[in-house]
Amino acid sequence: MPDDQLDEAVADLIRRATRGSVLSKALGKQNFYAQIDLPQSDAYTMSSAQMAAAAMTDDAQEGFRAFLDKRHPNFTQRP
């Protein structure tokens, strides 16, 4: 990548990494650290349950509705 494109590439990466629900990011981090040392099958079981529970949050439901309505979501939940 040319040097003159580096700043824009970094800014784009930061925008993509920080968009979305703050709550979903917090729940994802909590789940990651809770399962990191578990055997793989146990980690999958734990993560599956956590993802199913997270899908029921108001922010997740807003994300689903926004996707179907082809609009940007309005996330409001905080950890």
pLDDT band at 2 (very low <50, low <70, confident <90, very high): confident
pLDDT, tens only, 12-36:
999 988 888 999 999 999 999 999 9
Flag whether 51 is in a domain: yes
Tell me how many domains the chain contains.
1
Of the candidates 31, 74, 22, which has an alpha carbon nearest to the alpha carbon of residue 51?
A: 31
What average pLDDT does the segment 36-41 reach? 96
Asked, for residue 28, whether it belongs to a domain, the answer is yes
- Write out the residue range of the structural domain in which residue 12 sits: 3-69
Q: Report the predicted TM-score, pTM, of the whole model to 2 decimal places.
A: 0.72
Task: Say whether pLDDT at 1 is over 80.
Answer: no
Residue at 74 is within a domain? no
